[in-house]
Structure 1
Amino acid sequence: MTTIVAFHAHADDPVVLSGGTLARAAADGHRVVVVVATDGMDASVPTPRWRELEASAAILGVRRVVHLGYADSGHGPELYPDPPGRQRFARADTEEAAHRLAAVLHEERADLLLGYDAGGGYGHRDHVKVHEVARRAARLTGTRLLEATMPRDTVVRLVRIIRALRIPFLYDGAALGRLYSPASAITHRFDVRRFAGRKQAALAAHVSDVRGGGRLAAVLRVLVWLPAPVFGLVAGREWYVEVSSAGSPRPSLQVSARSGRSRRRR
């Protein structure tokens, strides 16, 4: 049994890019811990989402949920003032935040840390901060690091499908295609379709997000309402880039979760 610590920015993030991975690891008997940087409170969402996070994590088989103590930095162009007694995560000192995360890694004797790619997925300021903090914490502790991402060509295809289905989607598809990672950088591809139902249920547990307003909520509602087989096709694969101790990607090794075998890329 190994211990996997998944570091995320917001309460609903553990499901989206790594929910299947976490569910599979838990089902295989590994200890799974989720660490979130923020508690889901910002100017537009004034109530904590901790209970929803705990419910969602329990569905995935997560054994422990930890909050680093920062406030959500929000989605808008402006970075809101810090709330009383807390700091927006985007303003946090990277070294201080990394030491908070490193303390959890030491306490859990973590074998593996999951973070985000350099663009923070779709570029949210808190996600980019997760990338920076996770890399520093991995160096401080010597913990193996995988960064959650998606192949850029897959992102482009998903955007086309979403628009073909006339699902409200206001993100710039071309910009998204420049974020995430090129296919050549992906080191781990996991087929998690067997856990798609659990992943979808965990997403539905985030009631505040699913029932909220805005473009993200619209996308989440569609994902929650999709028939399970269709959801499995859309969200049944997850991707990672393994990072070396020197901070550079390791694109030479491909790991297939279906077969458990590794192969060298040429």
Structure 2
Amino acid sequence: MGWSDRRRMRCCHPVRVPFTLVSFHAHPDDEALLTGGTLARAAAEGHRVVLVTATDGEAGLAAAERTGDLGAARAAELDQAAAALGCARVVRLGHADSGWGSSPARAAGPGFSELPVEDVARQLAAVLREEGAHVLTSYDPAGGYGHPDHVQVHRVGARAAELAATPLLLEATVDRTLVRRGLRLARLVPRLDSDVLAQRLDTAFTAREDLTHRVDVRAHLAAKREALAAHASQTESDSGLRGIRLLLRLPRPVFSALLGREWFRQSGRGRVPGRLLDDVFAGLG
């Protein structure tokens, strides 16, 4: 094969242009649980990945010996997790964790969920413009399992994408059918913290028929597992084991079966009949 033939072959297989993905989350550890494999896959494929958190998670659940300066501890854990996932940049918006349920009392003043959407959206939009973001991930309208900070991520993400004219907004979620199955099994685990298990599942996460993306991240589960393990403060509380500890104890084949795919709903788009998209950049052409 001559040089001209090799050149023609290269022209027939265009090189993929790197994109920038900004992933917006409420607290440290949310990024690993909901989008860790997707972020690791995007980074491994040569795209720029930027992680933004609204709070440092200082009102989260943790064992008593870890609650002295939980926000600082979780911020450090976030940096470690972001490195494992290949994130190029971490941005903390610095708002107060609203807390929820049996969470310890937060500092005085409004929590993230109580802030005006427009004000926080401008902060996030500034990051989107600075990065020239092609894709933003936020959360579904239910905020997953209903945490008020997660619901606020949905509202802020939608408005920020509008302000910054970000081409693609994906709502990170989970197939509600799979959540129901998983929680039935989780109830059999002794000492598992039951806060999330008590939530109503009829409106949690996203119905299967509303999903647009099912991203295969099985090749990147080592990075996702490492990111989850980085959030050591969130593995146990005084009331029992947390979900992260349970996930990390799973045999690798089971871990892969449960966490080998991540789910999204593309804002403003219905499901493509008969299939789910496997690529978070597919809508960009």
State the TM bucket, normalised to the shorter chain: 0.7 to 0.9
Contact 2:49–2:87 at 8 Å: present in 1 too? yes
- CA deviations on 1:83-126 (whole Å, 9 max, x unpaired) are 4xx64101111000000000000010000000000000000010
Which structure has the greater CA radius of gyration? Answer: 2
Equivalent of 2:29 in 7, 12, 17: 12
Give distance in 2, aligned partners of 1:233 and 1:109: 35
Q: Secondary structure at the match of 1:178?
A: coil
Contact 2:214–2:276 at 8 Å: present in 1 too? yes
Give distance in 1, aligned partners of 2:57 and 2:45: 30
Give distance in 2, aligned partners of 1:52 and 1:81: 20
What is the letter of the counterpart of residue 176 of structure 2?
A: R
Paired position in structure 2 for 1:257: 278
Contact 1:197–1:232 at 8 Å: present in 2 too? no
Paired position in structure 2 for 1:53: 78
Where in structure 1 do 4 or more consecutive aligned residues deviate above 6 Å? none
The alignment's C-alpha RMSD in Å is 2.5
Paired position in structure 2 for 1:71: 96
Give distance in 1, aligned partners of 2:116 and 2:79: 27
**Closer/same/farther in 2, CA of residues 213 and 79 from structure 1, 3 Å limit:** closer
% identical equivalent positions = 43
Contact 2:55–2:95 at 8 Å: present in 1 too? yes
Equivalent of 2:114 in 74, 81, 91: 91
Equivalent of 1:37 in 31, 54, 78: 54
What is the letter of the counterpart of residue 197 of structure 1?
A: A
Contact 2:82–2:227 at 8 Å: present in 1 too? yes
**Closer/same/farther in 2, CA of residues 188 and 59 from structure 1, 3 Å limit:** same
Give distance in 2, aligned partners of 1:219 and 1:79: 18
Give the 5 Å matches for 1:78-157. 82-83=107-108, 87-143=110-166, 144-157=168-181
Aligned pairs, number? 254
Q: Secondary structure at the match of 1:36?
A: strand
TM-score by length of 1: 0.87
Name which of structure 1's ranges 152-161 and 73-82 shifts more when overlaid on structure 2: 73-82
1:27 and 2:51 are equivalent in the alignment: no
Gaps of 5+ in 2: 1-17, 62-66
Equivalent of 1:178 in 179, 187, 203: 203
Contact 2:211–2:276 at 8 Å: present in 1 too? no
Q: Secondary structure at the match of 2:99?
A: coil
Q: Secondary structure at the match of 2:238?
A: coil
Q: Secondary structure at the match of 2:242?
A: helix
Q: Secondary structure at the match of 1:138?
A: helix
Contact 1:197–1:228 at 8 Å: present in 2 too? no
Q: How far apart are 1:168 and its partner, in Å? A: 2.5
Q: How far apart are 1:175 and its partner, in Å? A: 1.2
Contact 1:150–1:239 at 8 Å: present in 2 too? yes
